[in-house]
Amino acid sequence: MASGIIAYFALAREPWLWPAACVSGLAFGLAVQLRGRPVLRAALLAAGFATGGFAGARLAAWRAPPWPDLPRGATIVTGTVSALEALPEGRRVTIAAPALDGGEPLARAVRIRLRDSDDADLVTGDTARVRALLRPPSPPAYPGGWDMQRDAWFGGMAGYGFAIGPVSVEAHGRGDRIQPLREAIAARFMAALPGPRGAIAATLFTGLGAAIPADDRAAFQVSGLAHLLAVAGLHIGIVMGLVFACVRTWLAASEFAALHWPVRRIASLSSLAGGAAYLVLTGAHVPILRSFAMACLVVVALMTGRRALSVRALALAALVLMVFAPALVMGVSFQMSFAAVLALVAGWEVLSPRMALFGAGHWWRGPALYVGGLAATSALAGTASLPYAAYHFGNATLFYVPANMVAVPITALWVMPWGLASLLLMPVGLERFTAMPMGWGIDGLLAVAHGVAAWPEAVWRVPQVPPWGLLLVSFGLAWLCLWRSSPRLAGVLPLCAGLVSPWLAASPDIVVSPDARVIAARVGGVAFVSTARGASRFDLDTPARVWGLANATAFESRANIGVSCDTGTCRFALRGGTALLVTDASAACAGASAVISALPLRGNCPAPVVVDRFSVLGDGATSITLGADGAAKITDHMVRGDRPWVIAAPSHLATSSLPPAATE
């Protein structure tokens, strides 16, 4: 089913819906009739799920509302506040069904960063009014990069912006009851634990993590502890385990209940109810939805005497998510979450029999099994999710095993129990007494994250992973984990091929951002960058994401090797091809295979390939590969094609005058 969804998103044009739907229905119908032919039936089921996933993705794209035309200048935004998030500095508000300058409400929401000094008494459900600059979602920073427009299309967002005036409350309303509760709990945690500790505590129990400072978030990512800030299986497992233990202990303390009631089943259902409450409270994101779906199957298995954890349960959880939200397959949360859990389930199937008799009869058996199990869990989950992190973020963390061996016990045995106690004491206003020891544990997590992140070579920059490389990794991982006999070893070959794909695939020599304000080139293993005023910080990371080069040098630097700069131009050659960077439209710009510029050249620089401020407005981000035969160009429009979520050129023109802070 995932392969059908991926095939839909890989197309350059929107396909018809009915052929895939008909093929899927026909395949399922034939599979029902061919019960006596298992091989053919399996093939038909596979075809039915693949085409069903294709049709489901097409249907989800068709159901999404179209892009609105956002104004180019300042506008008055009026609408209902659907979310209010605290940032390290200031707040960010999401307005549902916004009306722009008194017009008709839009079918999509907008997200606006309020001014840092704006302390208006605003809560979820209020009708707010604010003067702001809006821009549509940004296109990919380079061809094949992260598609923010696709995420916004399926997420119901129309655009992002920042306030240029104070926000005012037009009317008070109740709205959603859950979101105000989440925001109130987050505010209580941050009041009891000022600074990063409160922001992390709020993240663990509400999923609202925008207030975590950037340097702390980066330390968690580099040290391999980012999953602690992404509420998922670990957190809901701790919550359900604590609820199960408390309820079972309480019932066992009663002689009548212990003798006459099914204590274990009652405790299991209670833990499931606690997990459901935690799911709702933390925002029902993809990782925790997957975890809760598996938790439901585990509880059912425990109550019926069946096997609790299996790849079949994981497949059912994935199937449910793909049916209701097929676009999640393309996201990093879905990919990393399912890869990690698949490796855990399959890995423990192999390790459990070997550990069952380990150290039998010795006092050190328990501690050794705990430490070994923690190391194995960290290694399995971290290694399985590493290729997906490299694909989406362009880096790989190397010391995730020791970091998790220290941080996970702190989280499970100290931070989360004290946090749950704080949550229970909030109605009576006594949460500060339990939040204080929780803060000590969070201090320990911060110390581990920053300490490991400071180790030499803690993060490894990885060149851009080609899509076929990620597909090989996924196929190899699935093959290795699903088989239970010797054929499983065949999955190592595609897995290894996918891991080395960043160094096997040809990478471009030049990358131009969607607004041409960032022009990056790789010459002799060195990244050179030319930036114009107003360049986006995300676009400035292009050399690190495309070539795995963290440090970049300015073209005009005197120390450059392989780049010669004159007045208004910089020239460099690769594999027989020559490129010319033009910084002055009046400079001579002849004799090059490719001419690139952040200026509108207006035909003044004839060359086989010309990329300037005007060309990227229609083509999007552009990459160029030089060679003896000339220059080959690939544009974002060539990669993404004409899809519903791809915003046309006129909307790009409306964003060119806005500063990059609008996307934050």
Q: Among 181-195, 327-341, 528-542, which stretch is predicted with the lowest mean pLDDT?
A: 528-542
Total residues belonging to the chain: 664
Query: Across all residues in the chain, what is the average pLDDT?
Result: 89
437: Cα within 13 Å, side-chain hemisphere: 13
Rounded CA-CA distance 192/9 in Å is 45
How is the chain split into domains, by residue range?
2-63, 75-176, 218-461, 510-647
State the DSSP code for 138: P
Structure confidence at residue 467 as a pLDDT band (50, 70, 90): very high
Paired tokens of 397 = 């963390």
The structure's pTM equals 0.88
Higher pLDDT, 307 or 545: 545
With 90 as the cut, is the pLDDT of residue 572 above it?
no
Q: What is the pLDDT of residues 197-235, one digit of tens each?
A: 999 999 999 988 889 999 999 999 999 999 899 888 788
- The first and second tokens of residue 167, run together, are 């926000």
Q: In whole angstroms, what is the distance from residue 534 CA to residue 393 CA?
A: 23
pLDDT of residue 543: 87
Q: What is the C-alpha separation between 96 and 106, in angstroms, rounded?
A: 8
Amino acid at residue number 296: C
Tell me the mean pLDDT in the region 385-390: 93
pLDDT at 566: 82
The neighbouring-strand residues paired with 632 are: 625
293-326 tens-digit pLDDT = 878 877 877 777 776 667 888 888 899 889 999 9
DSSP state of 228: G
> For 255-299, what is each residue's pLDDT tens digit?
999 999 989 889 989 999 999 999 999 888 777 887 888 788 778
What mean pLDDT is predicted for residues 525-540? 86
Least confident of 137-151, 281-295, 517-531: 281-295
3-class secondary structure, 45: helix
Helix intervals (H) in 365-415: 365-393, 400-410
- Residue 156, phi-psi category: left (phi > 0), alpha (psi -120 to 50), beta (remainder): left
Q: Would you say 639 and 653 are in contact if contact means Cβ atoms under 8 Å apart? A: no
CA separation (Å) from 29 to 22, 26, 32, 573?
10, 5, 5, 60
- Which pLDDT score, from 0 to 100, does residue 358 have? 76
pLDDT value for 478: 94
pLDDT of 129 reads 95
Q: What would the pLDDT profile of 437-464 be if each residue is shown by its tens digit?
A: 999 999 999 999 999 999 998 989 999 9
Rounded to whole angstroms, the maximal C-alpha distance in the chain is 94
> What's the pLDDT score for residue 664?
37
| Nearest to 221, CA basis, from 469, 467, 403, 419 | 403
Per-residue confidence (pLDDT) for residue 603, from 0 to 100: 77
pLDDT value at 656 more than 50: no
Residue 111 β-bridge partners = 94, 160
Q: Judge whether residue 649 has pLDDT over 80.
A: no
> pLDDT band for position 587 (50/70/90)?
confident
Look at residue 175 in the predicted model and tell me its pLDDT: 65
Q: How far apart are CA 1 and CA 320, in angstroms?
A: 11
Residue 82 main-chain phi, psi, to 5 deg: -100, -15
> If you compute the radius of gyration of the chain from its CA atoms, what whole number of angstroms results?
27
Task: Give CA separation, 300 vs 209, 253, 257, in Å.
Answer: 32, 25, 22
Structure-model confidence comparison of residues 486 and 114, the more confident one: 114
Q: Phi and psi for 358 in degrees, rounded to 5?
A: -70, 125
Assess contact for 271 and 299: CB atoms under 8 A: yes
Cα dihedral sign, 432-433-434-435: positive
Q: Is 657 a residue whose pLDDT tops 60? A: no
The amino acid present at 35, given as its one-letter code, is R
Buried b (16+ CB within 10 A) or exposed e, 98-119: bbbeeeeebebbbbbbbbeebe
Weakest-pLDDT range from 436-445, 570-579, 618-627: 570-579
Please check whether the domain covering 75-176 is classified as CATH 2.40.50. Answer: yes
How many of the other CB atoms lie within 10 Å of CB of 433? 12
